[in-house]
Amino acid sequence: MGDPKYSNELDIAVRVVHMACCLCQRVQESLVSTTDVQVRSKDDDSPVTVADWSVQATVSYMLSESFKNEKISIVAEEDVQTLSRPSSSTLLQSVVKTVNDCLAQSAKFGLKGPIESLGPSQVLESISRCSSSGGPKGRHWVLDPVDGTLGFVRGDQYAIALALIDNGEVVIGVLGCPNYPMKKEWLTYPHKCYKNMSKLSDSWDEGCVMYTKRGSGEVWMQPLIEGDRNFDWPNLARQVEVSSINDITMATFCEPVEKANSSHSFTAGLAHSMGLRNQPLRVYSMVKYAAIARGDAEIFMKFSRAGYKEKIWDHAAGVLIVQEAGGVVTDAGGRPLDFSRGIYLEGLDRGIIACSGYALHEKIIAAVYASWDSSNL
* SS3 per-residue string spanning the chain: CCCCCCHHHHHHHHHHHHHHHHHHHHHHHHHHHCCCCCEEECCCCCEEEHHHHHHHHHHHHHHHHHCCCCCCCEEECCCCCCCCCHHHHHHHHHHHHHHHHHHCCHHHHCCCCCCCCCCHHHHHHHHHCCECCCCCCCEEEEEEEEECHHHHHCCCCCEEEEEEEECCEEEEEEEEEEEEECCHHHHHCCHHHHHHHHCCCCCCCEEEEEEEECCCCCEEEEECCCCCCCCCCCCCCEEECCCCCCCHHHCCEEECCCCCCECHHHHHHHHHHHCCCCCCEECCCCHHHHHHHCCCCCEEEEEECCCCCCEHHHCHHHHHHHHHCCCEEEECCCCCCCCCCCCECCCCCCEEEEECCHHHHHHHHHHHHHHHHHCCC
Report how far residue 284's alpha carbon sits from residue 72's, in angstroms, rounded to the nearest whole number: 30
Spell out the SS3 assignment of 25-81. Answer: HHHHHHHHHCCCCCEEECCCCCEEEHHHHHHHHHHHHHHHHHCCCCCCCEEECCCCC
From the CA atom positions of the chain, what is the Rg in Å? 20
373 is catalytic: no
36: annotated active-site residue: no
Residue in 49, 58, 98, 149 annotated catalytic:
149
Distance CA(76)–CA(53), nearest Å, equals: 10
Separation CA 22–CA 20 (nearest Å): 5
Q: Which residues are identified as catalytic?
A: 52, 149
